[in-house]
Homo-oligomer: A and B are copies of this chain.
Amino acid sequence: MDTKQRILDEALTLFSEKGYANVFVADIAEKVGIKAPSLYKHYKNKQAIFDAIIEEMNRRFLEEAGNLQINGADATEDAEIYKHISEEQLITLGNNLFLYFLHDDYTRRFRKMLTIEQFHDKKLATAYMKQYVDDPLSYQEILLGLMVSAGVLQTENVEIMTLHFYAPIYMLLTICDREPEREKEALIKLEAHIRQFNRLYARNEEIIQDNKISRRKKK
Q: Does A212 contact B (CB under 8 A)?
A: no
Q: Roughly how many angstroms separate A192 CA and B164 CA in the complex, as a whole number? A: 11
Residues from chain B with a CB closer than 8 A to the CB of A203 are: none
Q: Roughly how many angstroms separate A133 CA and B178 CA in the complex, as a whole number? A: 12
Residue from B19, B178, B196 in contact with A128 in the complex, judged by beta carbons closer than 8 Å: B178
Stretch in A38-46, A84-92, A117-125 with 4+ CB within 8 Å of B: A117-125
Q: Does A21 contact B (CB under 8 A)?
A: yes
Q: Does A31 contact B (CB under 8 A)?
A: no
Q: Give chain B nearest CB distance to A200 CB in angstroms.
A: 5
Q: Does A211 contact B (CB under 8 A)?
A: no
Stretch in A70-78, A138-146, A168-176 with 4+ CB within 8 Å of B: A168-176
